[in-house]
Every structure is written in structure tokens, then in C-alpha cells.
Amino acid sequence: MAAPPHWVGVLLTPRVPGCTCGCMGTAHLTIDLAALAANWRALDALSAPSVETAAVVKADGYGLGARQVARTLLDAGARRFFVAVAEEGAAIRETVGPEREICVFSGHMPGDAEMIAAQGLVPILNSIEQLTRHFESLPGHPFGVQLDSGMNRLGLEPVEWSAVREVILGQNPALVMSHLACADDPSDPMNHRQLATFREMTEGVAVPLSLSATGGILMGPEFHFDVTRPGIGLYGGLPFSDAAPVVGLSIPVIQVREIAAGEIVGYGGSWLADTPTRVATLSAGYADGLIRAMGNEAVLFHGDVPCPLVGRVSMDLLTVDVSHLPEVPEALDILGPQQSVDDLADAAETIGYEILTSLGPRYRRSYI
């Protein structure tokens, strides 16, 4: 509907932007580093003092900034960090200092030798091919080994391991690890099957052993071994249901309009007003990781009041029904104490991991 020419008055009365955070049009991502540290300590407290709790900071610290995250977890007490690829290890080396161990899950890839050596990274070797590459290009350089206890993703199979085990152990690996496929569901029988396989494969092995990420830590001491590798729980995600929320995301309102019954909103007209509706258009979209599957499903919040997303998610915009709010706020929250990354993930039929690691580069970020 056409707006009356208020603009004349607006031109005569310049408005001061009301947002107290000082931003204008940029969505604002808040990362609570104290909550991150508290989550590390809480997960650390779930295992015996003899068990080392490491920290997984791959994918740019699950999207929250690997350096800031690593610095915080270092101060909290983490001594060993895990990343996915060598470049991610190089990115945090200066932050964590020369002494801390940085392990690389993808192992020793072709062309990585120089970076592994220069940055003092510990590749977790996954195959005979990687073992060969490592011993040939960097003899004597520290390494770990991943065993496949049943996930069939990375690591040496039991037959391969038994063939090379004595030779490898003679080279004194820094860590022997495996990974659980189904630890988000403690009742899944796969967990104990993998535990038994890992025990069998590591019988008599006198180097530090590691099996569990966040889910395995929650399943109890038999899964802990010497080193645990939490990731998602640190960042406030399930399966660590007691996690403190780490991320807040507030998205500014650009424009508000009144929609008449029978009018559509957004691409494809996927939402149709059945009564007069006030719709706010917000400045973030799927290019910022608010994935398209949230369209017509997710809710945003003004304080504790939910406001449904209506219509499709655009690349840079969201449209939200704010009819029930007494006045339209400057911004609405999509992540925060009212809505966790997992709540939002449910609306988009995905998991908290994907919501976090999709958060785009356009946000103004504040670390508190």
C-alpha cells in the first residue's frame, strides 16, 4: 500500500539513528567468550583430572573466529587444539604459542610438509599412504594416528593397523585416536561397538588415546581415555544440553509495511496474508548463513515475544510478521537466550553445527 508523504516531515526533522550499539544497517553477532570458557570448564569437569580436555577449533572455531576462540580456550586451560586442515593450524599457531600441540584431522596431505614443519603441526595420519608420505618427507616429525573403529570415514582399518602397528608404535606417535559415528544418541548400540573395537585395536598401546568428542564425553568415563576432543559443546550446541549460550544475533529492521489481506510477501509469493499484517523487512539473508530452508518456518524474537518469519529468505533480507508488537523495534534477535543454534536448526531441518559454521562474514562481530 502507498505510504502518505511523511518524507517531507522527515527531511525537515533529521532523525538520529536510535541503535545503541552504534551500528546502522549491519546485523550484529555477539560472541560470549566467558560462556565459551565456562563450557570448556564444564566439559573438562565431566572427566577425571587425569584426562586431558583438548579443544576443537576447526572451521574457523565453528564459525566464531578461530583466533579469538583459541585464545579464550588457551586461557581456560586447553593445551591441545584440533583443526581440520593444516592452514587452520597455521592460522592459530601464533595465538596459542609455540608450545601447544595443534593436531590436524585430515593428516598429512600432498604439499603440506613445509607448513607442517614450519608451524610445528601434528598431522593425524589416516592411511598407509599418509604414513608413508610423512615418514619420507618429515622423518622424526611428531604425528598422531587415526584408527577406523567403524565410522568408515577416516583412519586405518583394523587389518591395516595390525600390519603396521609395531612399526608405527616404534616411531612414538603423539596420539592414537578414533571417532564415534553416533555419539549424539547415547542409546545407539554403535557407540559400544566402536568402543570395543577401539579397545581391541589399542590393547597394550602405551601412547595417549582419544575416542570422544562432545557426545562421547557425555556418555561417561569409559569413553574418555586420555584425551577428549570437544567441539560443538564449547560453542553452546547439542548434545551438550547444559551448555551456556555463546552466540547472539540481532538483525536490524530496514523497513515496515502494512499488508492487506490477500497480498503476498517475498519471492514466489510463498506467504499470503489472510488478515491485515504488519511486516518488517530485516537486513540479513541466506548470504549470511540464514539458510533458505528457514523460510516460513523460523521465528525471531523481540525480547521474549516470538515473531514469525514470513515468506522466503532472500539473499540479504528477511520478512517478519510484527503485527502483534505494540511498536516495531530497531532490530529483532534470531539467536540468543530465547533461541539456541539448535532451536533455529530445527526450523531449517538441520543441525546446530551447520547454523554456526554458516554464519557469514558480513556481521559486525562483538566479543564479550
Ligand X SMILES: *Cc1c(COP(=O)(O)O)cnc(C)c1O
58 in catalytic set: yes
Cβ neighbour number for residue 204 with a 10 Å cutoff = 6
Out of 235, 267, 286, 353, pick the active-site residue.
Answer: 267
Please say which residue, 147 or 335, places its beta carbon nearer to ligand X.
147
Please say which residue, 240 or 286, places its beta carbon nearer to ligand X.
240
199 is in an annotated binding site: no
Q: How far is Cα 233 from Cα 216, in angstroms, rounded to an integer? A: 11
CB of 92 to ligand X, least distance (A): 15
CB of 302 to ligand X, least distance (A): 31
Please say which residue, 149 or 214, places its beta carbon nearer to ligand X.
214
Beta-strand runs (E) in the chain: 28-31, 52-53, 55-56, 80-83, 101-104, 121-125, 144-146, 175-177, 209-210, 227-228, 247-259, 264-265, 271-272, 277-282, 299-302, 305-308, 318-321, 331-335, 364-367
Contact 101, 122 (CB under 8 A): yes
267 in catalytic set: yes
Binding site for ligand X (CB under 6 A): 56, 58, 105, 179, 213-215, 229-233
Tell me the residue number closest to ligand X, measured at CB.
Answer: 231
- Bridge partner residues of 124 (DSSP): 144
Q: How far is Cα 70 from Cα 91, in angstroms, rounded to an integer? A: 10
φ, ψ dihedrals at 268, nearest 5°: 75, -5
Residue with cell 539448535: 342
CB of 138 to ligand X, least distance (A): 22
Please say which residue, 230 or 236, places its beta carbon nearer to ligand X.
230
315 is in an annotated binding site: yes
Out of 58, 235, 353, 363, pick the active-site residue.
Answer: 58
Residue among 247, 315, 318 nearest 286 (CA): 315
CB of 147 to ligand X, least distance (A): 11
Q: Which residues are annotated as a binding site?
A: 153, 315
**Enzyme catalytic residues:** 58, 267
Binding-site residue positions for substrate: 153, 315
